[in-house]
Structure 1
Amino acid sequence: MEFRKKLLIENEPNECYSTPVYDSISDVVNATLCEKVDGSHNLQCLKRNCSDCGVKILNFLPCELDVSDTAEFVKKLIETFPVHQHRATWQNEQFQNLVRNLPEKQCVCVHDFSENYRCSELIEIQSAYFQKTEVSVHVTILHRHALLEYDGVDSSEDFPEIITEQFFVISPDLVHDQYFVHQVRNYIAEYLQSISYSVETMHEFTDGCAAQYKSRHCFGDISQTSDDFGYQHFTRNFFETSHAKGPQDAAGGIIKRQADCAILRGQTQIRTAKDLYEYANSFLTQPRSHCKRRIFRYAETIHRDNRLSFKPVPSIRSLHQVRASRDSAKGLINISELSCFCVNCCHHMYDQCSNSIKTGGYTEWEMKREYRADAQENEENEEVSLQELVSVGQLVALYTDDDEEEYYMLKVEKSMETLRIDTTDSWGSLLPAGTPVFRGLYYNKTNSPFQYRLNVTRLPDSRTLLLRTDYFTVVVMTENGKFFKPQQKNLPEPCTLFGNPMVDPLKNFIVHFYGHSHKTPETALIFLSKFK
Structure 2
Amino acid sequence: MDAINKELEEEQRILTIEDLVGKTLCTDVGRLCVERECADCGVGSVMTDLCEAIDNKTKVKKWSKWEKTEKASKDLVFREDSLSNILTMLQTAVHDVAKHLKVAEWQRRQYTRLKSCLPKGHAMCTVDFSENYLCKFQNEVQSAHWSYRQVSVHPCVFIYRCNQPECYKVVTEYVVFLTDVLKHDSNLTKHILNLCIEKGKELGLAALHIFSDGCSSQYKSRYTFHHLSQLQELHPHIKITRHFFGSNHGKSLCDSCGGVVKNAAIRAVLAGREVIQSAQQMFEYCSKNLTVTGDDSCSHLENLRSFAVIQPTDIPSQTTSVGLHFPAKGMLSIKKLVLFL
Q: How much has 1:252 moved relative to structure 2? A: 0.4
- How many residues are aligned here? 297
Alpha-carbon distance in 1 for matches of 2:199, 2:55: 64
Q: State the partner residue of 2:65.
A: none
Q: State the partner residue of 2:253.
A: 247
Alpha-carbon distance in 1 for matches of 2:274, 2:40: 66
SS of corresponding position for 1:76: helix
Q: How does 1:235-384 map to 2 (within 5 A)?
A: 235-286=241-292, 292-301=303-312, 302-305=314-317, 307=319, 331-342=330-341
Deviations 1:253-295 (A, max 9, x none): 11111111111111111111110111111111139x9852111
Larger-Rg structure: 1
Does the Cα contact within 8 Å between 2:125 and 2:158 map onto a contact in 1? Answer: yes
Q: State the partner residue of 1:345.
A: none
Structure 2 portions without partners, runs of 5+: 60-81, 294-299
* Aligned with 1:206 (options 212, 223, 236): 212
Alpha-carbon distance in 1 for matches of 2:243, 2:268: 37
Alignment partner of 1:91 is 2:102: no
RCO comparison, higher one (Cα < 8 Å, 6+): 2
Q: Pick closer, same or farther for the CA change 1:232–1:165 going to 2, 3 Å.
A: closer
Alignment partner of 1:45 is 2:33: yes
Structure 1 portions without partners, runs of 5+: 9-19, 149-153, 312-329, 343-532
Q: How much has 1:27 moved relative to structure 2? A: 4.8
Alpha-carbon distance in 2 for matches of 1:77, 1:340: 28
SS of corresponding position for 2:254: helix
Q: Pick closer, same or farther for the CA change 1:100–1:82 going to 2, 3 Å.
A: same
* Aligned with 2:188 (options 180, 192, 197): 180
Q: How much has 1:42 moved relative to structure 2? A: 1.7
SS of corresponding position for 1:93: helix
Q: State the partner residue of 1:54.
A: 42
Deviations 1:462-512 (A, max 9, x none): xxxxxxxxxxxxxxxxxxxxxxxxxxxxxxxxxxxxxxxxxxxxxxxxxxx
Alpha-carbon distance in 1 for matches of 2:208, 2:33: 33
Alpha-carbon distance in 2 for matches of 1:114, 1:238: 17
Alpha-carbon distance in 2 for matches of 1:332, 1:29: 37
SS of corresponding position for 2:105: helix
Q: How does 1:112-261 map to 2 (within 5 A)?
A: 112-148=128-164, 154=165, 160-194=168-202, 197-261=203-267
Alpha-carbon distance in 2 for matches of 1:191, 1:335: 25
The normalised TM-score by structure 1 is 0.51
SS of corresponding position for 2:132: strand
SS of corresponding position for 1:65: coil
Root-mean-square deviation (CA, aligned residues, Å) is: 2.7
User: What letter is aligned with 1:331?
Assistant: G
Alpha-carbon distance in 2 for matches of 1:273, 1:142: 22
User: What letter is aligned with 1:304?
Assistant: P
Name the structure with the higher helix share.
2
Q: How much has 1:65 moved relative to structure 2? A: 3.4
Deviations 1:348-383 (A, max 9, x none): xxxxxxxxxxxxxxxxxxxxxxxxxxxxxxxxxxxx
Does the Cα contact within 8 Å between 1:217 and 1:310 map onto a contact in 2? Answer: no
Q: How does 1:409-488 map to 2 (within 5 A)?
A: none
Q: How much has 1:230 moved relative to structure 2? A: 3.8
Does the Cα contact within 8 Å between 1:145 and 1:155 map onto a contact in 2? Answer: no
User: What letter is aligned with 2:208?
Assistant: M
Does the Cα contact within 8 Å between 1:122 and 1:264 map onto a contact in 2? Answer: yes
Alpha-carbon distance in 2 for matches of 1:27, 1:169: 40
Alpha-carbon distance in 2 for matches of 1:290, 1:210: 38
Name the structure with the higher strand share.
1
